[in-house]
């Protein structure tokens, strides 16, 4: 595998171990950007195994991570001028937390990787530092029993590692809390948009053209007004559910994500209706306008509901409870809106 971040090797009793740099270069940054947009995201991997960061010796700490390239990069960039061993587990290119949830970043893989890499011959101590978010997959007490290595949970964020190491492997309470600040929410937006792109490419032109069908004022006039109004409303729903809801998440009323999406959808629909009323020659019948007050919020509620998977604090029980009322409501809203809109084409 092409691994340009390897800058040499470190000789140990078990052979040469690839040496890596803590400096990220432009291909690393570009790789992160592409992964955020879903490009090659499922093949963005690092070969599992042991790596040497800096010039580690037999007493240097061992840090464990996943073989998702972005996880690996966050770890090494956090440790400039440090010497450490980095043990990369095979998580099928999935990040630490998700892989732990699936069990691929788990006790079995960790124990196997310790044996494969002959870690006991590389270091003279028996401590491993795991990311805290490996917890759902790794049972520290079982690792100790099976491998002899003591798994110590480090901070959640790699950026806190220097402070954790300097404090004698002690984490502050803040290092142990998973927050979800606006910056972290914003970087997840592209992947949400990419996931609906394929549908948008079909649905948006369809509504645009359907807006022109049977328009008394002629096809193009209909498309450029009612069709465009439909497209704007659909884009508004997309922005409300997949952009505004993630960004404004803690400040939108309600706890259920669908409710937050619904609120944002109603607001954007209101603005787009006002815009349409003053700037477009849309049909002034109630059905055409009311249709979007059903369809767009239903859509944005659905999109916002899907953001539960990206969030860092939603429980499966909670999501199931939310979905029991949200999914039927989204379907009813969508069908009602569509019926009104199609109906309005026949009423003139």
Partner 1 sequence: MEKMIYLKNVVTLQLNEKNCSGCGICMVVCPHAVFSMNNGRVRIANRDACMECGACAMNCPTDALTVQAGVGCAAAVINTALGRDGACCCVVETPGDSENIRGKICC
Matching residue, tokens 């439909």: 230
Minimum CB–partner distance for residue 42 and partner 1 (Å):
5
In angstroms, the CA 150 to CA 170 distance is 15
Nearer to partner 1, 102 or 345 (CB): 102
In angstroms, the CA 290 to CA 296 distance is 10
Sign (positive or negative) of CA dihedral 7, 112, 138, 67: positive
Minimum CB–partner distance for residue 117 and partner 1 (Å):
23
Nearer to partner 1, 142 or 345 (CB): 142
Query: Is 155:165 a contact under the CB 8 Å cutoff?
Result: no
Minimum CB–partner distance for residue 327 and partner 1 (Å):
8
Residues near partner 1 (CB under 8 A) are 38, 41-43, 92, 94-95, 97-102, 104, 132-133, 135-141, 153, 156, 171, 173, 176-181, 191-192, 195, 249-251, 255-257, 305-306, 308-323, 327
Minimum CB–partner distance for residue 153 and partner 1 (Å):
5
Query: Is 153:132 a contact under the CB 8 Å cutoff?
Result: yes
Q: Which helix (H) or strand (E) segment is 194 a member of?
A: helix 189-210
Nearer to partner 1, 206 or 314 (CB): 314
DSSP summary character for residue 137: T
Minimum CB–partner distance for residue 347 and partner 1 (Å):
35
Cα 174 versus chain centre, distance: 22
Residue 13's CB is within 10 A of a number of other CB atoms, namely 8
Minimum CB–partner distance for residue 318 and partner 1 (Å):
4
> In this structure, are strands 62-66 and 6-12 parallel, antiparallel, or unpaired?
unpaired
């Amino acid at each position: 595998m092409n691994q340009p971040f390897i800058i040499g090797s470190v000789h140990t009793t078990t052979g040469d171990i690839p040496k890596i740099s803590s400096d990220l270069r432009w291909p690393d940054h570009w790789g992160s950007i592409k992964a955020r947009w879903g490009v090659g995201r499922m093949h963005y991997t690092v070969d599992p195994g042991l790596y040497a960061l800096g010039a580690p010796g037999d007493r240097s700490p061992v840090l464990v991570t996943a073989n998702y390239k972005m996880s690996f990069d966050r770890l090494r960039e956090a440790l400039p001028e440090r010497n450490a061993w980095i043990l990369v587990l095979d998580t099928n290119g999935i990040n630490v937390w998700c892989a732990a949830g699936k069990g691929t970043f788990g006790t079995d893989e960790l124990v196997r990787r310790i044996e494969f890499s002959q870690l006991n011959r590389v270091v003279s101590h028996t401590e491993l530092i795991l990311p805290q978010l490996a917890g759902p997959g790794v049972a520290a007490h079982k690792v100790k029993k099976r491998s002899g290595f003591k798994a110590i949970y480090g901070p959640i964020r790699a950026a806190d590692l220097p402070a954790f190491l300097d404090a004698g492997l002690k984490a502050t309470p803040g290092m142990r809390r998973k927050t979800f600040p606006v910056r972290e929410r914003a970087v997840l937006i592209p992947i949400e948009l990419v996931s609906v792109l394929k549908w948008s490419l079909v649905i948006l032109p369809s509504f645009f053209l359907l807006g022109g069908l049977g328009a008394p004022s002629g096809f193009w006039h209909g498309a450029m007004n009612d069709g465009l109004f439909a497209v704007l409303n659909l884009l508004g729903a997309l922005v409300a559910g997949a952009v505004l809801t993630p960004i404004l998440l803690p400040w939108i009323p309600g706890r259920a994500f669908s409710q937050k999406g619904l609120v944002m959808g109603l607001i954007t629909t209101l603005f787009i209706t006002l815009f349409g009323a003053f700037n477009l020659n849309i049909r002034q019948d109630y059905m055409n306008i009311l249709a979007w007050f059903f369809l767009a919020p239903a859509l944005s509620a659905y999109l916002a509901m899907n953001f539960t998977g990206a969030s860092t604090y939603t429980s499966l029980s909670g999501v199931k409870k939310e979905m029991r009322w949200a999914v039927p409501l989204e379907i009813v809203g969508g069908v009602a809106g569509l019926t009104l809109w199609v109906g309005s084409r026949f009423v003139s």
